[in-house]
Amino acid sequence: MMRTIVAATLLFLVQTSQRPRRQPDIFFAATPQRIVTAMLQLARVTSDDAVYDLGSGDGRIVILAAQRFGARGVGVEIDPQLVALSRQLAHEAGVDDKVTFIEGNFFDADLSAATVVTMWLSPAINEELAPKLRRQLKPGARIVSHQFRMGTWLADEQVTVDDEQVFLWRLPAKRDE
């Protein structure tokens, strides 16, 4: 499955020329499969969850959440090429009835239905997103970040996978204020 996603991603990006309406805040780098699995396991994703991936790239996180855990998923991605690729890969994986991909800016997206939010962004973007996440997510929602913290917001848990950190916050979260 992983090789298929990588090959399809490369082929699709070479063949298409559609560009985002605005410059992305962060550029796409595929999350390694072991990290994706660790993120979903750390969040304890189940079939009751709605997993939102911010900057969803090729859709691998929400696709795996649907395939392996039975969760519903929403990817928010600004690049129309990656949105189209994600939809194609979800269809090929047989989960297009469980996942949705939105072309748009994650700063503008309504995240209130999310029970789990995943992201691999940057320290500055995470810190900028933290107030929105606190405001829009319901108590009990989980946030998982690959590699980067959210300012001084203390993580509830963290794990190391292949020398990379994965952080988990639960709402209401511990706060270092």
* Domains of the chain, earliest start first: 2-15+29-170 (3.40.50.150)
Within 10 angstroms of residue 98's Cβ, the number of other Cβ atoms is 19
Dihedral-angle region of residue 144 (phi above 0 means left; psi in -120 to 50 means alpha; beta otherwise): beta
Instruction: Provide the token pair at 111.
Output: 């995240």
DSSP state of 100: E
User: Percent of the chain having pLDDT more than 90?
Assistant: 80
Mean pLDDT of 51-56: 97
The pLDDT assigned to 16 comes to 44
- For residue 124, pLDDT beyond 90: yes
pTM of the model: 0.84
Helices (H), 21-79: 33-42, 60-69
Mean pLDDT score across all residues of the chain: 88
Q: 30 — phi, psi (to 5°)?
A: -65, 130
Bridge partners (DSSP) listed for residue 50: 72
Mean pLDDT, rounded, for 161-173: 91
Tell me the three state secondary structure of residue 157: strand
Q: Kindly state the tokens that stand for 135.
A: 């405001």
| Helix pair angle (33-42, 60-69), 10° resolution | 60
Give Cα 17 to chain centroid, integer Å: 24
**Average pLDDT score over residue span 137-149:** 97
pLDDT at 21 over 90: no
Q: Give the pair of three-digit tokens for residue 108.
A: 């503008």
Upper half-sphere CA count for residue 96 (Cβ side, 13 Å)? 12
**Res 69 pLDDT > 60:** yes
What pLDDT shows up at residue 108? Answer: 96
37: pLDDT strictly greater than 50: yes
Mean pLDDT of 83-97: 97
Can you tell me the mean pLDDT for 12-16? 45
Residue 13, CA distances (Å) to 78, 96, 103, 123, 177 in order: 14, 20, 16, 27, 43
Q: Among residues of the chain, what percentage have pLDDT more than 70?
A: 82
Residue 25: pLDDT above 70?
no
Question: Residue 14: in which H helix or E strand, if any?
Answer: helix 2-15
Segment among 50-54, 90-94, 130-134, 169-173 with least mean pLDDT: 169-173
**Residue 14 predicted with pLDDT over 50:** no
Assess whether pLDDT exceeds 60 at residue 4. no
